Chain A
């Protein structure tokens, strides 16, 4: 896997510290390294958020150590505050910031093109195209970072980060260093305008020097065949793989090809050589026309009439990810060939088939404490006479957002880490009179939920903060959070209590309940909604998948067929994946997946379900 290759690259580069925050598709780098800390001697950690991770990494690199920081695209936005500043002072040890973008939004986030951060931070960036390239690029990025004393971005996308392929390993080098921080305020502080401008000029000159050094780098590979027919292609990232396949299947020769690995600084000399050789150019890059616009500017500068194929002329899309067929289509336009297609009838048949496959919306896992929380919330609304539209629930990042799906239909919004609370405040300020609940998970609360909580109590805003504390960062693959009581490598750690933070932040009424106890949970919400906020409820119960893995599973629940009336209230309330229907409409529970949470036992009006945690 691409991310595992990056982990290997970190080992080969003798990185001493790896720190990050979980986020698909970046998490496997740290997850892989966490399994081998004893052998590698590396310090590997999950931080509370990406900005903290970057600050830790920068601190280590300022002291001369090699540090790798990992995050997904949205995490880079959080970390950017520090990155822009760290760029000015630079680092002495290597600092590489790995960011994984997600074209086609597989993980359900914006299709952010993080390459634009090179414009904001001025920092260099390598964009990788397959696992081998990714591993090699880690080592090169560290060498560049140290040579030029600035942080370097390493960027991948989902299809590179999660691509599995054979990788040739390199040797592991050892770098001996003594930790030391120069006492140099002209370099490491920004409080003087004159120093700031000096530092700004210095970053620019570092990147400019790097540009000439990279003209003949492995990262940018230009091949111009002898009988080049005036056609050139620039490909970057995963597109490079699709291009090679299309070129092979159509036996395309006689075209000049540039594989571009360095997206900042762009190798202008190499690009110039390409431009002067051809009169048609196709640029292949996913998401925004980042390289294309630069090529366009260079063409204008050179003053040669060149037809440019890319996103600006709608040859290629800016939305979604590329594949073989997208590139084939663009190539057919560039080289004017026909694509053999299946008959219209067969294509129609295929499309109809796809439409017949019923969608699979994401349910909560069997025994998920969040599903119990949202079920209890619904019961509380009903008891107070509120309908579906009478209470607003602002949602947040992570598993908790699945409460937006049927049958719960609870969460109305999802923006970014911690935004549920700030948005709830804004809705109240706008004059919304309905009750407002902000639903946020534990890891998300630690990450970015604390400042808006303080804002809530500072201005005494009438909202309910519900922290759904399943004691883990579940959605990204169960990385520990500060409320887990252990670290990523499994060492025991202090358990940070959310109720103490809430109280210290000025929330006067904080209730802690176990969501598996539906009655008490419902009562907690009824109480909170009757009073004037700010108030907070902590719904604490370990993620069912983690509990299961720890062997904490209860006996599965069973249905007494005689008592089951087939009313299906359980399935309509919880949509638990362990439940299915018999042909007579009665419920059956799959003993293989049921964890015995006992929530359905409390929901069944005819007492037909037995067993479970409290059954």
Chain B
């Protein structure tokens, strides 16, 4: 029995963070878990920040993850990971897409956008592990770039978290996305899974040296 398990998804409106939350929560439901999802949308449709709090377990009642208590942060955009630091802590593992979405203020050089390396370094001091992936590149290989969220989901599925099964996740994808997009989404999922296995292998080799 799971007592409390928290996944935070941070994204920019339009990136597919809400769909990702939906796939995760439907999967958990199908596996008989108690589920709560809270979302801070604001006017997300218009390129604002979106946070989805996906929570499983018997002691889960509220829509939001308590500060510092995320087990997982899936960030579809690097600066959105920074924006979510309130919810991450020592036990958190982060999977982050490294391709930024620059706000207009950055394009017009009014504000500086933080370097990805700096973001990774800063966050790794807070959490137990961080994996940075070019999920956009991988998604492009799988089909439409909109599948980027599934690359991140795939990476999560290879992390070794023993809660959701891959077959249940694939079923949820088939139930959530329009039928003509099922194939590329599953392909993106597989690519993410493969990528994460590779990253973890490399990390293990490094630590053995």
Contact = CB atoms under 8 A, between A and B. Distances in A.
A185 B29 CA distance: 54
A248 interface: yes
Interface string A44-79: 000000000000000000000000000000000000
Interface stretch (B121-129, B161-169, B185-193, B197-205): B121-129
B177 interface: no
A356 B85 CA distance: 11
Interface in B82-105: 82-83, 85-86, 88-90, 102-105
A365 interface: yes
B46 A365 contact: yes
Interface in B34-71: 34-43, 45-49, 59-68
Contact of A324 (B45, B64, B79): B64
A475 interface: yes
B1 interface: no
Contacts of B36: 163-165
A342 B86 CA distance: 11
Nearest to A159: B63
A584 to B, nearest CB: 14
Nearest to B112: A358
Contacts of A571: 104, 107-108
Contacts of B39: 162, 164
Interface string B1-30: 000000000001000000000000100010
Contact of A350 (B37, B79, B85): B85
Given A107-B42, A357-B80, A359-B103, A328 B66 contact: yes
A351 B88 CA distance: 12
B37 A163 contact: yes
Interface stretch (A92-100, A237-245, A310-318, A485-493): A237-245
Interface residues of A, number: 55
Contact of B59 (A249, A353, A362): A249
Contacts of B64: 159, 323-324
Interface residues of B, number: 54
B62 A245 contact: yes
A323 B104 CA distance: 32
Nearest to B90: A342
B209 interface: no
B159 interface: no
B35 A166 contact: yes
Contact of B29 (A163, A166, A572): A166
Interface in B103-139: 103-108, 111-114, 119, 122-123, 125-126
Contacts of B66: 245, 323-325, 328
Nearest to A242: B62
Interface string A156-196: 00010011111000000000000000000000000000000
Nearest to A405: B104
B43 A107 contact: yes
Interface stretch (A143-151, A419-427, A575-583): A575-583
Given A342-B68, A359-B105, A242 B46 contact: no
Contact of A354 (B86, B105, B113): B86
Interface string A402-432: 1000110000000000000000000000000
B42 A592 contact: no
A108 interface: yes
28 contacts: A107-B42, A107-B43, A130-B61, A159-B62, A162-B38, A162-B63, A163-B63, A164-B37, A165-B37, A166-B29, A166-B35, A240-B61, A241-B61, A245-B59, A324-B67, A325-B66, A328-B66, A350-B126, A351-B85, A356-B122, A357-B80, A357-B83, A358-B103, A361-B103, A406-B104, A475-B43, A571-B104, A581-B107
List the 9 closest pairs (A to B, CB-CB), nearest first: A241-B61, A164-B37, A324-B66, A350-B85, A357-B83, A241-B62, A357-B82, A353-B85, A163-B63
Given A349-B122, A357-B83, A361-B103, 19 more contacts: A108-B43, A159-B64, A163-B37, A164-B39, A241-B62, A323-B64, A346-B125, A350-B85, A350-B88, A353-B82, A353-B122, A356-B114, A358-B105, A360-B49, A362-B43, A362-B46, A362-B47, A571-B104, A592-B145
